[in-house]
Structure 1
Amino acid sequence: MADLKVDLTAPNGRKITLPTGLFINNEFVKATSGEKITSINPTNEEAICDVEAASADDVDKAVKAARAALNHESWRDLSGTDKGALMHKLADLVEAEKDTLATIETWDNGKPYGDSLFDINEVTTTLRYYAGWADKIHGHTIPTNPKKFAYTVRHPIGVCGQIIPWNFPLAMAAWKLDAFIYPVSRQPDRQGWFPPGVINILNGHGKDAGHAIAAHLDIDKVAFTGSTATGKLIMKTASVNMKNITLETGGKSPLLVFEDADLEQAAKWSQFGIFGNSGQICTSTSRVLVHESVYDKFVELFKEAIKMLNKVGDPFEEGTFQGPQVTKAQYDKILSYVDVAKSEGATLAAGGVPYKGVGQGKGYFIEPTVFTNVKSDMTIYREEIFGPFVAISSFKTEDEAVAMANDSTYGLASAVFTQNIARAHRVADRIESGMCWINSSQDSDPRVPFGGVKQSGIGRELGEAGLAAYTSEKSIHVNLGTRL
């Protein structure tokens, strides 16, 4: 529809014709309710544009389209090889539009432009990785006895509702297998493309569209990335028809620095691990635990790394490492923890205030914030803040370090810095987390499973393990001679 697009000129000068509708059944359409969502540029607090906001009725339309596509021969009978070819084609189109997609990501989200380009590369890499799997999903034959032949087949789990987070929307959509990204500035010919209904993309508020997805009786699976509190609500709502669920929720990931660590590298990785994406990463290593014998030296090196590497600024400017927080609400929430930390006795070592050095002083920028002398009963040690905010504590022994790392309701990621290879593996094994990095932070690869334990989620994404959540296994028994 002609009125479901808007011509924009981004801050970097790129001109974009942006579809603003809901993408249902291979068409952009208006929201049934007429409601819209305004995208705000977090760098200057100005409106970018309005997009349609899906209601429960729109979710129902998308589900009907997806169910029809699942059962239609154009998709149902398409070979795995041909489905893989479509995914490769999508990856090629995303790559061709990488500059436009990265521009939109930075403009709307506030992350540095280079980071947005990195995210687009992750989208294409993930799509191509799973395109390779498309014709390699198979069952097994199982020997039992001479009078029976048993085998298994794998079927798609059905219609999937994928709820994507705002911090890595493009990358997370690619991770979730079925929620593909549709190129924004040009559309491929309908011939040789995904059949109608296979991909449906809805803008919407969590309380409306998100709830409708979790509650819909004809959705077979819901996958969600976001806060633990919201994950619990989705889990409860999805139980209405016992949906299969994958949840990747909050984290308060520890980074352990032992006395034999390369402290300069540990400091630089710690800076990267907490201040990347303005601290808005579920796996951010926001609790740094340092052996008491090197604590003071580490803190000084960490502060030096911030000064050297952590440029706060306009996300479109070259060299910017930390952009603004995504929304005013997020900005206010993060700053509220500063007074809490002070009142509980932590020492403010750096930051803790808004950063006003961009443009006219507007935007949701926060100086990288460091608290030292943090105790395990303090709020900033226990709660996920989701911003450029780190708590640094000390430990005496390896056992104490592991106990402190595990003293959390979360268990998403962790990191260990030591040059003792035996200790590195031993501690990595003992920490209660879905992932552990040894002498690095924030490593991720589409071939390697991603997910957490405890209240950091259920299930895994990425790698071969990620496929298990999207198929069901059927057992077939063939009688070869037993007669009654």
Structure 2
Amino acid sequence: MEILANYINGELSKPQSNNYIDDQNPATTKVFAKIPLSDEIDLKFAIDSAEKAFPQWSGLPAKERAAYLIKISALINDNLEELALAESIDTGKPIQLAKTVDIPRAISNMEFFAHAITQFSSESHANEKSINYTLRKPLGVVGCISPWNLPLYLFTWKIAPALVTGNCVIAKPSEITPYTAFLLSKICIEAGLPKGVLNILHGTGPEIGNAIVQNKRIKAISFTGGTDTGKKIAEISAPMFRKISLELGGKNPALVFADCDLNKTVEELVRASFSNQGEICLCSSRLYIEKSIYEEFKSLFVEKVKNLKIGNPTNAANNMGALISAQHLEKVKSYIRLAKEEGGHLLCGDEKLELEKENSKGYFLRPHVFENLPNHCKVNQEEIFGPLVSLNSFRNENEAIRFANESDYGLASSIWTNDLSRAHRIGSKIETGIVWINCWMNRDLRTPFGGMKNSGLGREGGLEALRFFTETKNICIQF
């Protein structure tokens, strides 16, 4: 059994308490590693090392900081197979998904921000008497807390812009899926990243996560996770007048119009609904279909869902793996029971699941599709984060927009139509931070990423991320 370590001051280190927790494979329920249970003593050591490293790191030319990220990116690429397998074992996701999405995106994150910093310009404003110009300086020591569903993908999405803008980072991966962050520690050592620039602390949210958020020496917090936790971070950070970026939950609508390319739409929405077992904040969970094509869409959609292969995530033939934990599996099942109580008609999901012996105790669940659930019921309003979607019909554009916007969340949505005017018209009225038209999860890393309402605060990605991790200073010179 492997014993994971923290990464502090450029070295792998044990937690000061010498306490560990289990890292479990959700597809087999077997414990395969032990995770450090870090505390405030480990955090102090990490912040001390980060503050010591900050003057030299922030003083490096941007091109030199970028070179370290490029080297780390290349080493992630060199170790893609190992990292993909580790991600699959740690999360229960299909290895093909890790190979084609998670790890390649981690590579792209490091490369993108390495290049972006060299294009990061400041503003100047001249008049007849003076000129003003803007400087953007790193904040200092910042905290990055990432979730369990896309571990290395979202971990690098946060630390890359923080590092390349000259900050030193205290990073906490999820205690449920820490393995690839630990492997990244080894990669950073191999890349020669200066000591103290990046520190990775493992442990639970209530313990080390809360300690990071409470610590006044940390100048900003970038967090991805649940809305309730985001609210607590906001409450703690507000009196400190500290920058926070919160990427929170979603309950994402998809609007399907009669003039769409039906076969393509069905195929893409099956992927949008059930990728990563539905454990992506961007997954579509509320599907609204124009009444005239509802029955045809339903038939095609359910047929494709029934053909998805669920099982051992390390088998490349399988489309869906295991849910992350026993607790999460029970949560999703409770919503399935609730959907039936709320009057939903189950279209698929109760079929018997055949599993290999090794996976017989794993946290597997067939994708469930319901129809006829009221729009205001709990299943249509609360984030489930699993393989459960609902289908409903609408009569016209206004009704579709109303259904989509009747939610406390506002992260992402998709519109499926070949009418370009309609796409623009509806896209501007949907209350989500991201609107995809005739596609899903098409991500250009230059674009702002984030949600409205209970889906978050601030934006990540592109220049938005570089601005978040810097402080703006205006300098005025009179002629």
TM over 0.5: yes
User: CA contact under 8 A between 1:434 and 1:453: conserved in structure 2?
Assistant: yes
Shift of the alpha carbon at 1:352? 4.7
Q: Distance in 1 between matches of 2:446 and 2:136?
A: 21
For 2:90, the aligned partner's letter is D
Shift of the alpha carbon at 1:265? 1.6
For 2:207, the aligned partner's letter is D
**Are the structure 2 counterparts of residues 405 and 467 from structure 1 closer, same or farther at C-alpha, using a change threshold of 3 Å?**
same
| Structure having the larger proportion of residues in helix | 2
Question: Residues 61-72 of structure 1 correspond to what in structure 2 (within 5 A)?
Answer: 61-71=45-55
Q: Distance in 2 between matches of 1:125 and 1:381?
A: 34
Q: Which moved more, 1:338-347 or 1:261-270?
A: 261-270
For 1:323, the equivalent position in structure 2 comes to 321
Unaligned runs of 5+ in 1: 1-5, 8-18
Partner of 1:303, secondary structure, is helix
- The structure that has the greater radius of gyration is 1
For 1:137, the equivalent position in structure 2 comes to 120
For 1:13, the equivalent position in structure 2 comes to none
User: CA contact under 8 A between 1:263 and 1:301: conserved in structure 2?
Assistant: no
Partner deviation per Cα, 1:47-66 (whole Å, 9 max, x = no partner): 11112121122222212221
Partner of 1:414, secondary structure, is strand
Match of 2:61 among 79, 91, 98: 79
Partner of 2:200, secondary structure, is coil
Match of 1:313 among 311, 314, 332: 311
For 2:14, the aligned partner's letter is K
User: CA contact under 8 A between 1:110 and 1:326: conserved in structure 2?
Assistant: yes
For 2:106, the equivalent position in structure 1 comes to 123
Partner deviation per Cα, 1:8-66 (whole Å, 9 max, x = no partner): xxxxxxxxxxx611111101111122221211111111111112121122222212221
Q: Distance in 2 between matches of 1:299 and 1:76?
A: 55
**Are the structure 2 counterparts of residues 189 and 222 from structure 1 closer, same or farther at C-alpha, using a change threshold of 3 Å?**
closer
For 1:278, the equivalent position in structure 2 comes to 277
User: CA contact under 8 A between 1:150 and 1:478: conserved in structure 2?
Assistant: yes
Q: Distance in 1 between matches of 2:241 and 2:209?
A: 17
Partner of 1:322, secondary structure, is coil
Partner deviation per Cα, 1:367-413 (whole Å, 9 max, x = no partner): 11010112112111111100000011111110000011000000000
For 2:329, the aligned partner's letter is Y
Would you say 1:49 and 2:33 are equivalent positions? yes
For 2:156, the equivalent position in structure 1 comes to 174
**Are the structure 2 counterparts of residues 234 and 307 from structure 1 closer, same or farther at C-alpha, using a change threshold of 3 Å?**
same
For 1:222, the aligned partner's letter is I
Partner deviation per Cα, 1:245-270 (whole Å, 9 max, x = no partner): 00100000000111212222221111
**Are the structure 2 counterparts of residues 356 and 215 from structure 1 closer, same or farther at C-alpha, using a change threshold of 3 Å?**
farther
Would you say 1:26 and 2:18 are equivalent positions? no
Shift of the alpha carbon at 1:141? 2.6
Partner of 2:338, secondary structure, is helix
Q: Distance in 2 between matches of 1:399 and 1:210?
A: 43
Q: Distance in 2 between matches of 1:432 and 1:189?
A: 44
Shift of the alpha carbon at 1:188? 6.8
Would you say 1:452 and 2:434 are equivalent positions? no
Partner of 1:325, secondary structure, is coil
User: CA contact under 8 A between 1:356 and 1:365: conserved in structure 2?
Assistant: no
Partner of 2:155, secondary structure, is helix
Q: Distance in 1 between matches of 2:207 and 2:186?
A: 29
Q: Distance in 2 between matches of 1:267 and 1:120?
A: 27
User: CA contact under 8 A between 1:434 and 1:451: conserved in structure 2?
Assistant: yes
**Are the structure 2 counterparts of residues 355 and 209 from structure 1 closer, same or farther at C-alpha, using a change threshold of 3 Å?**
farther
User: CA contact under 8 A between 1:256 and 1:415: conserved in structure 2?
Assistant: yes
Shift of the alpha carbon at 1:209? 1.1
Question: Residues 255-270 of structure 1 correspond to what in structure 2 (within 5 A)?
Answer: 255-270=254-269
Q: Distance in 2 between matches of 1:450 and 1:42?
A: 30
**Are the structure 2 counterparts of residues 418 and 362 from structure 1 closer, same or farther at C-alpha, using a change threshold of 3 Å?**
same
User: CA contact under 8 A between 1:25 and 1:197: conserved in structure 2?
Assistant: yes
Partner of 2:46, secondary structure, is helix
User: CA contact under 8 A between 2:23 and 2:33: conserved in structure 1?
Assistant: yes
Would you say 1:93 and 2:75 are equivalent positions? yes
Unaligned runs of 5+ in 2: 163-168, 172-180
With normalisation by structure 2, the TM-score equals 0.92
Q: Distance in 2 between matches of 1:247 and 1:184?
A: 24
**Runs of 4 or more off by more than 6 Å in structure 1?**
none
Shift of the alpha carbon at 1:443? 2.0
With normalisation by structure 1, the TM-score equals 0.91
For 1:367, the aligned partner's letter is R
Partner deviation per Cα, 1:194-251 (whole Å, 9 max, x = no partner): 2111100111111111111111100000011111111111111222412200010000
For 1:16, the equivalent position in structure 2 comes to none
**Are the structure 2 counterparts of residues 182 and 152 from structure 1 closer, same or farther at C-alpha, using a change threshold of 3 Å?**
farther
CA RMSD between the two structures = 1.8
Would you say 1:243 and 2:226 are equivalent positions? no
Shift of the alpha carbon at 1:478? 2.8
For 1:311, the aligned partner's letter is K
Partner of 1:38, secondary structure, is strand
Shift of the alpha carbon at 1:186? 5.4
Partner of 1:290, secondary structure, is strand
Partner of 1:196, secondary structure, is coil
Q: Distance in 2 between matches of 1:160 and 1:350?
A: 46
For 1:25, the aligned partner's letter is N
User: CA contact under 8 A between 2:75 and 2:187: conserved in structure 1?
Assistant: no
Q: Distance in 2 between matches of 1:381 and 1:245?
A: 29
Shift of the alpha carbon at 1:99? 1.1
User: CA contact under 8 A between 1:94 and 1:183: conserved in structure 2?
Assistant: no
Partner of 1:286, secondary structure, is strand
**Paired residues, number:** 459
User: CA contact under 8 A between 2:259 and 2:417: conserved in structure 1?
Assistant: yes
